């Protein structure tokens, strides 16, 4: 007859939990570090003068890091500086103050560099 | 010609205003010549327009809000004089003054932008055949429609004063050769048709222009019967 003592079960359970936690750690750390960029769809942004005005206002935001402006698709992407959080409403408000209409805002788990690369790749693939 | 109409006879105050307006340059630009006559809030816009056969302008303005800009401008132009039905000679004219630019309305469309502008200016003018300086005022209106590939614009700029009539009406249309990223230089082909009405005569110009835009820098180069046309605009 095989008997299992409570102490042994507890030890095995603790070991399994530790293993699961260790396996989950890198994923959790990655999620914490993954950039949360803001992407805005902007009506009326058709020229580099328009883009320059928007870029100037967004650069003045303390939490704003890299910015990507896609004139063809009328998209503005902003990435927060490390350790900072961007206020989506504030960013949209700055674009409106620059004289343009924001029709959509979304948060994406991408850096601005990734958005830029993805946009260019999509263009070349056409 | 009277003494007071000679360039050296400008009153000291006006001369100082002219020097300030010119900012060290010799000539300036007509705000009506450009797609956007003012930059974004808190920014400066400097414009220069050189036409070897006609008008030369320089202007600068500062946007105090997203819709309002105040600035200075100076213009030098040659006014044709009719003798026996032909433009046998011309009178040199100069003006300098203050400007107020207002974005009256902007339409933000999914793939386009349209604007209605008001540009008011007032100042002093002088020139051949005039006894001294005279005041002028100019309420200009202009409209534009632009996509990333297409540009259409029109404007009316009457400049009036005692014995002065210098009304400019223009239309512009053009296209970009291809779409570009914001970081790249975008080339455009533009055709401008302009009619200038003076007190005694009218002058028409049709000018094909190559336009290059890179971020806040805008350059146009063209040629018409009057000579070479060069426009520069810089927003910063």
Same domain, A52 and A27: no
Query: pLDDT tens across B221-236, in order?
Result: 999 988 899 999 999 9
Q: Are residues A46 and A14 in the same domain?
A: no
Chain A residues whose beta carbon lies within 8 Å of the beta carbon of residue B215: 48, 51-52
User: Any CB–CB contact under 8 A between B92 and chain A?
Assistant: no
Q: Are A70 and A112 part of one and the same domain?
A: yes
Task: Give residue A17's pLDDT.
Answer: 55
- What range does the domain containing A15 cover? 1-34
Nearest by CB: A53 against B39, B110, B218 = B39
**Residue B62 vs residue A22, higher pLDDT:** B62
State whether A67 and A82 are in the same domain. yes
The answer on A106 and A45 residing in a single domain is yes
Separation of alpha carbons B99 and A100, rounded Å: 25
Residues of B in contact with A99 (CB under 8 A): 40, 66-67, 103, 106, 108
pLDDT in tens, A62-118: 999 999 999 999 999 999 999 999 999 999 999 999 999 999 999 999 999 999 999
Residues of B in contact with A49 (CB under 8 A): 35-36, 39, 213, 216, 218, 235
pLDDT of residue B154: 97
* Alpha carbon of B32: minimum distance to chain A alpha carbons (Å): 16
CATH of the domain at A55: 3.30.70.100
Same domain membership, residue A103 and residue A72: yes
In the structure encoding, which two tokens stand for residue B20, read together? 């300030």
Residue A55: half-sphere exposure toward Cβ, Cα within 13 Å: 19
Q: Which residues 63-92 of chain A have a CB within 8 Å of chain B?
A: 69-72, 74
Shared-domain flag, residues A16 and A27 = yes
Task: Kindly state whether residues A57 and A76 are assigned to the same domain.
Answer: yes
Task: Measure the CA–CA gap between B29 and B47, rounded to whole angstroms.
Answer: 5
Q: Does residue A42 sit in the same domain as residue A21?
A: no
ipTM, two decimals? 0.77
What is the distance in angstroms between the Cα of B14 and the nearest Cα belonging to chain A?
Answer: 33
Q: What is the DSSP string of B31-65?
A: GGGSS-SS-STT-EEEEEEEETTS-EEEEEEEESS
Q: Same structural domain for residues A12 and A48? A: no
Are B109 and A97 inside 8 Å of each other by CB?
A: no
Question: Could you read off the pLDDT of B124-176 as tens digits, one per residue?
Answer: 999 988 888 999 999 999 999 999 999 999 999 999 998 889 999 999 999 99
Q: CA–CA separation, B167 vs B72, rounded Å?
A: 19
pTM value is 0.78
pLDDT in tens, B93-123: 999 999 999 999 999 999 999 999 999 999 9
Q: What's residue B163's pLDDT?
A: 84
Residues A49 and A93 in one domain: yes
Total number of domains in chain A:
2
pLDDT given at position B81: 80
Is there a single domain that holds both residue A60 and residue A121?
yes
Q: Which residues neighbour B43 within 8 Å (Cβ) at sequence distance 6 or greater?
A: A53, A56, B62, B63, B235, B236
Q: Provide CB contacts within 8 A for A70, sequence distance 6+.
A: A76, A77, A119, B181, B182
pLDDT recorded at residue B54: 77
Q: Which residues of chain A lie closer than 8 angstroms to B42, CB-CB?
A: 56
Residue A24, pLDDT > 50, answer no
């Amino acid at each position: 007859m095989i008997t299992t003592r409570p102490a042994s079960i507890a030890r095995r359970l603790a070991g399994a939990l530790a293993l699961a936690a260790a396996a989950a750690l890198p994923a959790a750390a990655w999620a914490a570090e993954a950039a949360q960029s803001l992407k805005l769809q902007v009506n009326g942004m058709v020229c580099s003068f328009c883009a320059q005005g928007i870029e100037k206002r967004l650069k003045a935001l303390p939490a704003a890091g890299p910015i990507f402006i896609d004139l063809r698709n009328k998209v503005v992407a902003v990435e927060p500086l490390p350790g900072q959080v961007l206020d989506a409403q504030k960013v949209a408000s700055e674009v409106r103050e620059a004289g343009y209409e924001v029709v959509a805002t979304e948060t994406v788990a991408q850096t601005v560099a990734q958005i830029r690369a993805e946009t260019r790749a999509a263009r070349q693939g056409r | 010609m009277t003494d007071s109409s000679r360039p050296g006879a400008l009153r000291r105050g006006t001369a100082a205003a002219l020097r300030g307006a010119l900012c060290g340059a010799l000539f300036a630009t007509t705000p009506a010549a450009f797609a956007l006559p003012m930059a974004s809030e808190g920014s400066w816009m400097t414009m220069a327009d050189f036409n070897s056969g006609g008008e030369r302008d320089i202007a600068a303005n500062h946007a105090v809000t997203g819709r309002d800009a105040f600035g200075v401008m100076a213009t030098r132009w040659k006014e044709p004089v009719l003798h026996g039905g032909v433009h046998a000679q011309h009178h040199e004219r100069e003006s300098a003054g203050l400007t107020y630019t207002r974005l009256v309305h902007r339409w933000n469309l999914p793939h386009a932008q349209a604007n209605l502008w008001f540009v008011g200016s007032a100042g002093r003018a002088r020139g051949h055949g005039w006894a001294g300086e005279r005041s002028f005022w100019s309420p200009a209106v202009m409209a534009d429609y632009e996509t990333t590939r297409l540009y259409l614009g029109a404007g009316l700029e009457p400049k009036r004063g005692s014995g002065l009539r210098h009304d400019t009406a223009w239309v512009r249309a053009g296209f970009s050769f291809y779409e570009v990223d914001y970081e790249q230089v975008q080339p455009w082909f533009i055709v401008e048709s302009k009619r200038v009405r003076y007190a005694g005569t009218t002058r028409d110009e049709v000018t094909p222009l190559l336009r290059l835009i890179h971020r806040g820098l805008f350059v146009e180069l063209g040629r018409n019967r009057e000579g070479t046309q060069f426009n520069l605009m810089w927003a910063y």
